[in-house]
Amino acid sequence: MNRRLTSAALDFPETEEPLQRVVGCLRGADPGPTLICIGGLHGNEPAGVQALRRVFQTLSRDPSLLICGEFVGLIGNLAALSEGRRFLAKDLNRQWRVEVVRRKEGSCGSIDEAAEDRERRELLAELDRVFGRARDETFALDLHTTSGESVPFVAMGDTLRNRRFALRFPLPMILGLEEHLDGTISEFLTLSGHTTITVETGQHASPAAVSNAEAAIWLALGEAGLLEASETARVRSARQRLGRAAQGVPRFLELRYRHPIFPGDGFRMEPGFTNFDPVAPDQLLGVNNRGEIRSRWRGRVLMPLYQELGEDGFFIVREFRRLWLSISALLRRLRIDAVVHWLPGITRHRSRPGTLVVDRKILRWYSMEALHLLGFRRQRALGDLLLVSRRQHAADRGKKANSRSERRAASR
């Protein structure tokens, strides 16, 4: 099908090119790590796709820049992107729960298949194809934009290897976001063993979002170890661009609250918020059919919703100190999580390995933050009981990069 990128807001000359799932695919002369970048998983977010096109244009003019491994750029939601809509039937970034994905794997698709089921099937086939032939470390970068104005930021499932990669980006790092979002592609790829981060690069229609996404891609290529050593300057300038764009926002933040939107809710965000604006207790954040929504926290607002489609009204994040990342890494390496069920009020789930049942009546001092440090994530609450599960790969540090990419990374 001949689809075209239709974004009135992003008027780039390259918008006349037909849309295809694979934006580009390049292999270096030597074996090495694999990096897949995904843009347009939400169809109203063309910035990542535009950025991928720019990077592949540069690389195609001088293929010798990429010296090892494989770099692939993919479009997430082709059909929705061609219509400039977030999605057609359902949010493609909520369709990646591992058991659902693998159950539907191999199905050929039916006539009444929902648009996003088809998108997921096709995208999964590409991901499997590319990662399936990888012989070294595998990386994924998922590029998004926000409806409100924003400085760029990075989010990821909180495993040590995702952290290690995310820390190379001089951007605010949000922990815990994916715990509140079910079935994201980033969670799926993390669980599949790939080092995965999501970078939000700015407002949907802002040209700066495209430039930030381009910088994120160059930085990912450099840090994953795919680029020629002489490209240090390009990688450094990408890092500087992101650092400048994120100035004034704390580096480490943890998600404290998600405001869900239900059908017929009538949610409207109070106008004027941009990402990371400070909020005080009792501050008016929005309204719905039941009345005003006021903040119960001191923190910062994240991703205030100023578009029609979406299930999240806003998030509240709070700053934490970097020291906690080191403490958490140490606790995970010591495998403290293996004995945490010795505490009163915590038992191991009878049938689910890696899952704990926390009785909040007994464990009154219980704190989810403490369990986060150990690599657990909240699963669901059943009255006073809370199910938490240990993240797969929580303490993996990832394969060591091969000596060539390690040397190159070290030289920067």
Residue with tokens 């540090």: 397
Stretch that binds Zn ion, among 12-20, 76-84, 141-149, 323-331 (CB under 5 A): 141-149
Neighbours of 237 (CB within 10 A): 13
42/256 with CB nearer Zn ion: 42
Which region among 45-53, 74-82, 96-104, 255-263 touches Zn ion (by CB under 5 A)?
A: 45-53
Q: Tell me the window of 41-49, 70-78, 105-113, 351-359 that interacts with Zn ion (CB under 5 A).
A: 41-49
Regarding 144 and contact with Zn ion (CB under 5 A), the answer is yes
Query: Cα 213 to the chain's mean position, in Å?
Result: 13
Q: Cβ(325)–Cβ(346) under 8 Å? A: no
User: And the tokens for 76?
Assistant: 């997430």
CB of 109 to Zn ion, least distance (A): 24
Smallest distance, Zn ion to C-beta of residue 254, A: 21
CB 45 to Zn ion: min, Å: 5
Stretch that binds Zn ion, among 15-23, 139-147, 272-280, 404-412 (CB under 5 A): 139-147
Beta bridge partners of 25: 72
Which of 42, 393 has the CB closer to Zn ion?
A: 42
Q: Which stretch binds Zn ion (CB under 5 A): 35-43, 58-66, 103-111, 233-241?
A: 35-43
**Shortest Cβ 41–Zn ion spacing (Å):** 6
Residues 6+ away with beta carbon under 8 Å from 330: none
Residue/partner pairs of 406-410 with CB below 8 Å, 24 or more apart: 406/225, 408/222, 408/225, 408/227, 408/229, 409/222, 409/223, 409/225
With the C-alpha atoms ordered 284, 290, 296, 299, is the resulting torsion angle positive or negative?
Answer: negative
Q: Which is nearer to Zn ion, 42 or 234 (CB)?
A: 42
Q: Which residues of 102-124 are buried (b: 16+ CB within 10 A; e: fewer)?
A: eeeeeeeeeeebebbbbbbbebb
Please report how close the Cβ of residue 64 comes to Zn ion at its closest, in angstroms: 34
Q: How far is the CB of 324 from Zn ion (least distance, A)?
A: 28
User: Are 223 and 239 contacting, i.e. CB atoms less than 8 angstroms apart?
Assistant: no
Residue selected from 23, 40, 42, 70 as contacting Zn ion according to rule CB under 5 A:
42
Cα–Cα dist 233/228, whole Å: 11
CB nearer Zn ion, residue 49 or residue 134? 49
For 189, the enclosing helix (H) or strand (E) is helix 185-191
* CA distance linking residue 242 with residue 236, whole number of Å: 10
| CA gyration radius, the chain | 21
Query: Quick one: 33 or 172, whose CB is closer to Zn ion?
Result: 172
| Shortest distance (Å) from residue 253 CB to Zn ion | 18
Site track 358-397 with Zn ion (rule: CB under 5 A), x = hit: ----------------------------------------
The site for Zn ion, by CB under 5 A, has a size of 3
313 near 267, Cβ under 8 Å? Answer: yes
Interacting residue ranges for Zn ion, rule: CB under 5 A: 42, 45, 144
